[in-house]
């Protein structure tokens, strides 16, 4: 695969994972709002933010910000998931893995983070994948910028030099 194709594949993978995690968390909002309201609110905020991340990965020429936000949210959700099943969260401790939701959320978040790291390694943030933009036309435009510069002639320091060098004024 070319670096452009690889770049796009990782963006698509990240967007699908963000969308999956968002949908799964949004499905769980109502039950968590009644059981533990702050968990429901966190699920709502995380779900909406991940919808924006998915859109940002697919719709932006420079997706690094979307990747970073998605990675922070995904890592936060992974940590929250693990804490809620081990030591517990304030006033809340989950006893099971909530099949299929818990495992599917965890899987989509882990794959998102791995896709982000693979995208970075493939040069997505500024390397071979087009300077992070994914837009070949922009990169070519930046490369051509110096080719059309007009050089200004050197300035003469004194007005008198101009008169002395003019052959019509030599009489």
Q: What is the pLDDT of residue 132?
A: 42
d(CA 60, CA 62): 5
DSSP, collapsed to helix, strand or coil, labels residue 86 as coil
**Residue-wise DSSP of 123-159:** TTTTSTTTTTS--HHHHHHHHHGGGGPPPPPPPPS-H
Q: How confident is the model at residue 157 (pLDDT cuts 50, 70, 90)?
A: low
Burial of residue 51 (number of CB atoms within 10 Å: 0-12, 13-18, 19+): middle
Residue 77: CA count within 13 A, CB half-sphere: 33
d(CA 129, CA 88): 42
Q: What is the pLDDT of residue 96?
A: 75
Handedness of CA 104, 121, 3, 71 (dihedral sign): positive
Q: Tell me the pTM.
A: 0.72
Q: What is the pLDDT of residue 21?
A: 98
Q: How confident is the model at residue 160 (pLDDT cuts 50, 70, 90)?
A: low
For the cut 90, the answer to whether the pLDDT of residue 2 exceeds it is no
Q: What is the pLDDT of residue 3?
A: 81
Tracing tokens 């998605």 back to the chain, one arrives at 70
Interval 10-62: pLDDT, tens = 999 999 999 999 999 999 999 999 999 999 999 999 999 999 999 999 987 88
Handedness of CA 51, 53, 58, 59 (dihedral sign): positive
Cis peptide before 65 (omega within 30 of 0): no
Interval 112-156: pLDDT, tens = 999 999 999 988 877 544 444 444 444 444 444 544 545 555 565
């Amino acid at each position: 695969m070319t670096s452009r194709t690889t770049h796009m594949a990782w963006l698509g993978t990240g967007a699908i994972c963000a969308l999956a995690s968002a949908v799964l968390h949004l499905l769980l909002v109502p039950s968590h709002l009644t059981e533990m309201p702050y968990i429901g609110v966190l699920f709502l905020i995380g779900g909406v933010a991940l919808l924006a991340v998915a859109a940002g990965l697919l719709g932006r020429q420079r997706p690094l910000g979307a990747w970073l936000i998605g990675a922070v949210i995904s890592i936060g959700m992974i940590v929250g998931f693990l804490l809620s099943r081990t030591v517990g969260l304030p006033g809340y401790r989950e006893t099971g893995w909530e099949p299929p939701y818990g495992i599917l959320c965890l899987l989509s978040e882990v794959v998102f983070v791995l896709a982000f790291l693979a995208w970075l390694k493939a040069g997505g943030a500024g390397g071979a994948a087009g300077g992070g933009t994914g837009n070949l036309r922009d990169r070519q435009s930046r490369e051509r910028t110096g080719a059309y510069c007009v050089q200004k002639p050197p300035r003469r320091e004194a007005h008198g030099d101009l008169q002395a060098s003019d052959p019509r004024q030599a009489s």
